[in-house]
Chain A
Amino acid sequence: MTRFLHTGDWQLGMTRHFFSEGVQERFAQSRFDAIRKLGSIAKEEDCRFMVVCGDVFESNLIDRKTVFRALEALKDVLIPVYLLPGNHDPLNAASVYRSSTFLERKPPHVHVIEDMIPIKVDEGIEIVGVPWSSKRPLQDLVAMAITPLESVVDTVRVCVAHGMVDSISPNPDDPAAISLHAAEMAISQNKIHYLALGDRHSLTQVGNTGRIWYAGSPEQTDYNEVKSGFAIVVDLDREKVATREVNVGAWRFIERKRVDMNTKEDIESLKRWLEEIDDKERTVVKLRLVGTLSLLFHDQLEELFVYISEILGALETRTEELVVIPEDADFADFGFSGFASRTVVRLRSNAQDAGPHGIKARDALTLLVRLAGKAQ
């Protein structure tokens, strides 16, 4: 029985536009920390080696600093690590794996899979890698790699690949989609015994053999990921396979696609929900607000967002469907009867406009309410 750690899609160097500079750095650091955590898991679990199934780097054109930090983190992983070039970091002319920075500092136990020739990892253990050499392959590279293989009798063979399996691919016409049938056939023919996949950021089993898995990204990168932040500890021999997910990630992306916002209670409720989030500084929240608010409540909501966005990793709000309408209550304490009062009447009339003029008028009214409070 051979035990190894299956991971992928580290996406080192990834940035997110909604992060402020400081948070971006925190987010980047977490990904390097994840490498070390994977290293310690591998050690704890007594894994023989680690396979990283593509997209180790976010791009081939990343900063040297990112490569340095990645290799520095990899030094702390004490078992052989096999890195597979994926669609983000293909083995092309600009490949990060061929850069002097990488080559000069690469620790000896770190290997880059550069072709499809089986690599002997240890006695009775082989890896067949399927590296990407361009961003847009025009055929099923996995099928190309495993079809010509001979069946093995005394070796356990792990195929390390990257890309979407046709059965779950959103684009069934993709010529590069990995044929599940071909893979399962190769497994049944003892050509390979496990297909370690990368590309999908959520931990996913494919097919029924129990031998084809996506490990997912060790750190969540987006809202739509179902189960990211994991790696898989694989126990494998020719007869059986056992997989076990291990939690690695620290970041969470939460999206609420509809938050009704009409009353003070709605604001309070949202406030409570936000305050109850654990580990806020590694949580990214996206809210789509729907409803109608008075100037006063809108002001309060804005205040809440100002406060909470300072605490969260990031807060994204979509307010296209949130309408701010000046209400009588907004001017209840206004107390003016002269030209100020006539100004309010005029602006409120303009605020009825559904277009940009209306927004401008509502903004002006909000400002008026704020300054009126100050004046009084």
Chain B
Amino acid sequence: MKILCVRLRNYRGIEEAEVHFGPVGLTVVEGPNEAGKTSLTESVKILFEYLDSSKHRNVEAIKPVDRDVSTEIELQAESGPYTFTYLKRFHKKPETTLKVVKPKPENHTGREAHERAEAILRETIDVDLWRALNMQQGEELRQANLEKQTSLSAALDRAAGGHSTDPREESLFELIREEYAHYYTERGNEKKELQVAQRAEENALNEVASLQQQFKNLEDDIDRVALLQNDLDRFAKQEREIESEISGYQKSLDEIQKLEAALETARLKLDSERKSEDAARLEKKSRQDLVDRVNKARKEHANLEAAVASSGPAVQNAEEGLGKAEESADSAEKCRKDAETLLTLRRADFDYFNNKLHLEQLGERKERIDRAREEAAVAEDLLTSNQVDEKRLKKIQKAERALIIARAQQEAGSPSLLLRALTDLTLQIDGEQASIGKNEEKPLSVPDRVRVTIPETLDIEVTAGARAVDLSQRFEEAQEALTSACTVAGVRADPDEARNAFEERQEALRHIKNRDQTERDNLRDLTYEQLERKVIGLGKSIPVYPGERVSTPPLCFDLESAQEELRKAEKSLYEAGREWEIARDTLNSAREVRDRLRESSRETRIQLDLKAADLKQGEEELSRARARIPDDELKEKLDKSTKEVRFQEGSFRDAENALKIKGPEKVKTLMETAKGSLQTVQKKRKNAQTGLTEVQTRLKVLGEDGLHEQLHAAESRLEHVRRESAALVRRASAARLLFETMKDERDKARRAYVAPLREKIEQLGRLLFNDTFEVEVSEDLVITSRTLGGATVSFDSLSGGTREQLSLIARLACAMIVGKDGGGAPLILDDALGYTDPERLKLMGAVLAKAGQACQIIILTCMPDRYRNVGEAAVVRMA
């Protein structure tokens, strides 16, 4: 719809106003507060919403204060294919007229006009969306609620390339949601009704199970009654049988009791006779023991006497044996001592020869050392005078080589003089006498200056030039150097001498070195002094030994024989030692034998004395006893008692057999068993009786409770509950499936149509922000976040100004989409952008101008400056 003109008369404070709007683009309605800008939008709403006769408070509110006049609202508009003028007069002489110009002329009045206008409006615009998009004062920060705006949905659907959404689909979806909500919570949990149904089923099931159990228990009880009655009869019969058995056993037991008494009497008699017999036997035995004791003592006494008699000679023999052993021991000890003496002598002999040999060796070693020392002393002297060591020799040899070189150079480079004698003559060269035969030639080198004098004839002085002089000087220097080196080495200026001296020095060094080695080799672990002392000591002791030694046995003639004699002496000593030990052991044994025999003899004598006393006592006791009762009398008494015991034993066995035949143990056991069985049966019968009583009582009490009907009723209930529950679950499942399926489809559709809206918002927003501007739009068409330069901020966290701008942009985007689609409505902004700074206002102007190309935008403002950058716009001023 596009509002072309609104005319108001007597509307609130406005007496007369007529505002024309641009059919597309922006219309800015300027005016101070209370100029009636908001009334323009309000009047359009009232025009469509209320009948001219309405007494609604909203209608009453537009009546001018203190004036009893009629209020008129007239609207010229285009909507879809229609172009019309719609007038309503309220309060006084109410009237409604609708004049449609396009697509075909129509004229309506009264209620018909109202309804027709409403129909056109509904047919051509989405009224709800129109209301949602328009921004009232103070709403700047809130986003429009676009969730249920069917025309927007339709437009977005078409923009997204889908089918057009039928507005009834949302209503259907709402109905389905309600149906779903009947059974489930928003989170998809079951609601009370389903839970109750489930519980009811469980309860019914439990009730049935409980009753079935009771029923079964009763049935079991019924069966049990029959069984228990059977048991009772059986037990009673068993009881009778056992009682009869017990009576039979009792008779046998009475007889057994009598026989047991007889047996007991026989046992007592037998015991008494046995005691008498034991007493007689004991008395007889006691007498016999006494007799035996006396006899034994007598015999032992005789034996002891014999032993005492024989012990004297034995001791004597032992004493003699001891004496012999002592002699043998003494002899053996002497032999041993002799062998020891000889061994000492032989050992000394051996040492003598050994020391002799040792002295010789030591003397030789000392001599070698002394010789080496002497040579070393000579060498050391030489070393003191001879300084030509390797280093000095090398220096001399070096100077020698330098001299030879200098000489060769001099000879090559200095002028020469050839003397050729024409006759034999004597001459002086440099003052020295020389002679040259006839025709002999004598070359002379002139290193520096040569003076040849023929005495009294001629004096020739040849002087070499500058170079020859130089060479000559070098030669001299070399010679001096050699001389100097030789001097330092302590030799004449002769290198050969130096070399000889060096060899001598080396030889001397070798001698010194040899001395040390010789000392080490010959001293070994001794010092020279120790060696010397040993040589002196041995040299003193050896010669005197033969004189000091005993004469016999004679001294051996050499070391080997001395050693042989030593071995023999050692062997003799070992054997003598052994002999001596044997003799000593024999002596000890003989001494022990003698001592033992002596002791034994003494003991035997003591025993003999004791035994004699014992024998005497025994003989006295036996005499006294025999005087009291003779031995024969005792024997008779025992025989009599034994006979009586035999008799009583016979009687006892007879009584025992008589009892045994009756089998008393078996009868008693059977009796006990029967009594036990009787008790068991009686107990069982009692239990059965108790059980029967209990069961019968239970049956009586419970049997008439109507369990049958209760069970059937419970089963019926269960079936009903199950049926109802199943039906409920089925209904709930159907609702759930339907809801979830449709929601899924709806969400899919929504996700698709969010895209064009976002695109449009971003297109407008990039004018305001920059090219990185992006928004996230939720499925209910609300901006949830803004992204700028990669930074994402949720809508609610944005500044007031930005939120206001984004809310407006979202509205503009919707209006553009719907407007482009043909189903649009004017977007009315009542003093929006109050939170926006001047810079952004400028940019928002561009946004509004861009949106204005696609839909009609009406801006109501009391601050015209705010919108000075909106580009081309129709401006209406309200006073």
| Binding partners A and B | yes
B-contacting residues of A (Cβ < 8 Å)? Answer: 13, 15-17, 19-20, 24, 58-67, 92-94, 96, 99-101, 134, 335-343, 346-347, 359-361, 363-368, 371-372, 374-376
Provide a sorted-by-A list of 8 A–B residue pairs whose CB atoms are within 8 angstroms.
A17-B719, A66-B709, A99-B700, A338-B165, A338-B166, A347-B738, A367-B734, A375-B175
Name the A residues within 8 Å of B709 (CB-CB).
13, 15, 62-63, 66
A-contacting residues of B (Cβ < 8 Å)? Answer: 157, 162-166, 168-169, 171-173, 175-176, 179, 215, 218, 221-222, 225-226, 695-696, 699-700, 703-710, 712-713, 715-716, 719-720, 730-731, 733-735, 737-738, 741-742, 745-746, 748-749
Within 8 Å by CB of B734, from A99, A360, A376, lies: A360
- Asked if B166 and A337 make an inter-chain contact with CB atoms under 8 angstroms apart, the answer reads yes
Name the A residues within 8 Å of B713 (CB-CB).
15
Closest to A15 in B: B712
Expressed in whole angstroms, the Cα–Cα distance for A281 and B169 within the complex equals: 45
- Asked if B749 and A339 make an inter-chain contact with CB atoms under 8 angstroms apart, the answer reads yes
Expressed in whole angstroms, the Cα–Cα distance for A64 and B716 within the complex equals: 20
CB distance from A230 to the nearest CB of B (A): 25
Expressed in whole angstroms, the Cα–Cα distance for A58 and B731 within the complex equals: 38
- Asked if A347 and B166 make an inter-chain contact with CB atoms under 8 angstroms apart, the answer reads no
Name the A residues within 8 Å of B710 (CB-CB).
63
Query: Given the known A-B contacts A60-B703, A94-B218, are A340 and B225 also in contact in the complex, defined by CB atoms under 8 Å?
Result: no
Expressed in whole angstroms, the Cα–Cα distance for A374 and B746 within the complex equals: 20
Within 8 Å by CB of B703, from A61, A342, A360, lies: A61
Query: Given the known A-B contacts A134-B226, A371-B179, are A336 and B166 also in contact in the complex, defined by CB atoms under 8 Å?
Result: yes
Query: Given the known A-B contacts A24-B716, A338-B165, are A343 and B745 also in contact in the complex, defined by CB atoms under 8 Å?
Result: yes
Query: Given the known A-B contacts A360-B733, A367-B734, are A61 and B707 also in contact in the complex, defined by CB atoms under 8 Å?
Result: yes
Name the A residues within 8 Å of B699 (CB-CB).
93-94
Query: Given the known A-B contacts A61-B215, A94-B699, are A338 and B169 also in contact in the complex, defined by CB atoms under 8 Å?
Result: yes
Within 8 Å by CB of A374, from B175, B221, B737, B742, lies: B175
- Asked if A339 and B742 make an inter-chain contact with CB atoms under 8 angstroms apart, the answer reads yes
- Asked if A367 and B179 make an inter-chain contact with CB atoms under 8 angstroms apart, the answer reads yes
Name the A residues within 8 Å of B741 (CB-CB).
343, 346-347, 364
- Asked if B734 and A338 make an inter-chain contact with CB atoms under 8 angstroms apart, the answer reads no
- Asked if A376 and B168 make an inter-chain contact with CB atoms under 8 angstroms apart, the answer reads yes
Name the B residues within 8 Å of A62 (CB-CB).
706, 708-709
Expressed in whole angstroms, the Cα–Cα distance for A17 and B722 within the complex equals: 12
- Asked if A93 and B226 make an inter-chain contact with CB atoms under 8 angstroms apart, the answer reads yes
- Asked if A363 and B168 make an inter-chain contact with CB atoms under 8 angstroms apart, the answer reads no
Closest to A374 in B: B175
CB distance from B161 to the nearest CB of A (A): 13
Query: Given the known A-B contacts A13-B708, A62-B706, are A364 and B734 also in contact in the complex, defined by CB atoms under 8 Å?
Result: yes
- Asked if B175 and A17 make an inter-chain contact with CB atoms under 8 angstroms apart, the answer reads no
Expressed in whole angstroms, the Cα–Cα distance for A20 and B716 within the complex equals: 8
- Asked if A64 and B226 make an inter-chain contact with CB atoms under 8 angstroms apart, the answer reads no
Query: Given the known A-B contacts A347-B741, A360-B734, A375-B175, are A93 and B225 also in contact in the complex, defined by CB atoms under 8 Å?
Result: yes
Expressed in whole angstroms, the Cα–Cα distance for A376 and B167 within the complex equals: 11
Expressed in whole angstroms, the Cα–Cα distance for A134 and B709 within the complex equals: 20
- Asked if A340 and B166 make an inter-chain contact with CB atoms under 8 angstroms apart, the answer reads yes
- Asked if A340 and B173 make an inter-chain contact with CB atoms under 8 angstroms apart, the answer reads yes
- Asked if B171 and A375 make an inter-chain contact with CB atoms under 8 angstroms apart, the answer reads yes
- Asked if A64 and B733 make an inter-chain contact with CB atoms under 8 angstroms apart, the answer reads no
Name the A residues within 8 Å of B715 (CB-CB).
17
A contacts with B: majority SS: helix
Name the B residues within 8 Å of A58 (CB-CB).
708
Expressed in whole angstroms, the Cα–Cα distance for A360 and B734 within the complex equals: 6
CB distance from B513 to the nearest CB of A (A): 120
- Asked if A361 and B737 make an inter-chain contact with CB atoms under 8 angstroms apart, the answer reads yes
- Asked if B705 and A63 make an inter-chain contact with CB atoms under 8 angstroms apart, the answer reads yes
Name the B residues within 8 Å of A65 (CB-CB).
706
Expressed in whole angstroms, the Cα–Cα distance for A93 and B693 within the complex equals: 11
Q: Which of A101, A335, A336, A338 has the most CB of B within 10 A?
A: A338
Expressed in whole angstroms, the Cα–Cα distance for A339 and B167 within the complex equals: 11
CB distance from B116 to the nearest CB of A (A): 24
Name the A residues within 8 Å of B733 (CB-CB).
360, 363
Closest to B173 in A: A340
CB distance from A87 to the nearest CB of B (A): 13
Closest to B165 in A: A338
CB distance from B535 to the nearest CB of A (A): 132
Closest to B696 in A: A93
Within 8 Å by CB of A335, from B166, B716, B731, B746, lies: B166
Closest to A338 in B: B165
- Asked if A375 and B172 make an inter-chain contact with CB atoms under 8 angstroms apart, the answer reads yes
CB distance from A41 to the nearest CB of B (A): 28
Query: Given the known A-B contacts A336-B166, A340-B166, are A371 and B176 also in contact in the complex, defined by CB atoms under 8 Å?
Result: yes
User: Top 10 A-B pairs ranked by shortest CB distance?
Assistant: A63-B706, A93-B225, A363-B734, A15-B712, A59-B708, A339-B745, A364-B738, A375-B172, A364-B737, A61-B707
Query: Given the known A-B contacts A92-B225, A99-B704, are A338 and B164 also in contact in the complex, defined by CB atoms under 8 Å?
Result: yes
CB distance from A286 to the nearest CB of B (A): 15
CB distance from B726 to the nearest CB of A (A): 11
New A-B pairs, 15, CB < 8 Å, besides A17-B712, A17-B719, A94-B703: A20-B720, A61-B707, A63-B706, A64-B704, A66-B706, A100-B700, A101-B704, A337-B163, A338-B164, A339-B746, A363-B731, A363-B733, A363-B734, A364-B737, A365-B738
Closest to B695 in A: A93
- Asked if B221 and A93 make an inter-chain contact with CB atoms under 8 angstroms apart, the answer reads yes
Expressed in whole angstroms, the Cα–Cα distance for A61 and B700 within the complex equals: 10
- Asked if B738 and A341 make an inter-chain contact with CB atoms under 8 angstroms apart, the answer reads no
CB distance from A96 to the nearest CB of B (A): 8
Name the A residues within 8 Å of B165 (CB-CB).
338-339
Expressed in whole angstroms, the Cα–Cα distance for A272 and B712 within the complex equals: 34
Within 8 Å by CB of B163, from A13, A59, A338, A361, lies: A338
CB distance from A271 to the nearest CB of B (A): 22
- Asked if B730 and A363 make an inter-chain contact with CB atoms under 8 angstroms apart, the answer reads yes
Q: Which of A101, A359, A365, A367 has the most CB of B within 10 A?
A: A367
- Asked if B738 and A367 make an inter-chain contact with CB atoms under 8 angstroms apart, the answer reads yes
Closest to B745 in A: A339
Closest to B711 in A: A61
CB distance from B562 to the nearest CB of A (A): 132
Expressed in whole angstroms, the Cα–Cα distance for A371 and B734 within the complex equals: 12
Name the B residues within 8 Å of A346 (CB-CB).
741, 745
Expressed in whole angstroms, the Cα–Cα distance for A74 and B194 within the complex equals: 48
Name the B residues within 8 Å of A17 (CB-CB).
712, 715-716, 719
Expressed in whole angstroms, the Cα–Cα distance for A189 and B162 within the complex equals: 97
CB distance from B651 to the nearest CB of A (A): 68
Query: Given the known A-B contacts A17-B712, A19-B716, are A340 and B742 also in contact in the complex, defined by CB atoms under 8 Å?
Result: yes
Expressed in whole angstroms, the Cα–Cα distance for A291 and B311 within the complex equals: 146
Name the A residues within 8 Å of B179 (CB-CB).
367, 371
- Asked if B737 and A338 make an inter-chain contact with CB atoms under 8 angstroms apart, the answer reads no
CB distance from A102 to the nearest CB of B (A): 9
- Asked if A347 and B173 make an inter-chain contact with CB atoms under 8 angstroms apart, the answer reads no
- Asked if A63 and B708 make an inter-chain contact with CB atoms under 8 angstroms apart, the answer reads yes
Name the B residues within 8 Å of A341 (CB-CB).
163
Name the A residues within 8 Å of B704 (CB-CB).
63-64, 67, 96, 99-101
Name the A residues within 8 Å of B222 (CB-CB).
60, 92-94
CB distance from A333 to the nearest CB of B (A): 12
Within 8 Å by CB of B169, from A61, A66, A336, A366, lies: A336
Query: Given the known A-B contacts A61-B215, A93-B225, are A339 and B748 also in contact in the complex, defined by CB atoms under 8 Å?
Result: yes
- Asked if A340 and B172 make an inter-chain contact with CB atoms under 8 angstroms apart, the answer reads yes
Expressed in whole angstroms, the Cα–Cα distance for A224 and B226 within the complex equals: 35
Within 8 Å by CB of A375, from B168, B695, B703, B716, lies: B168
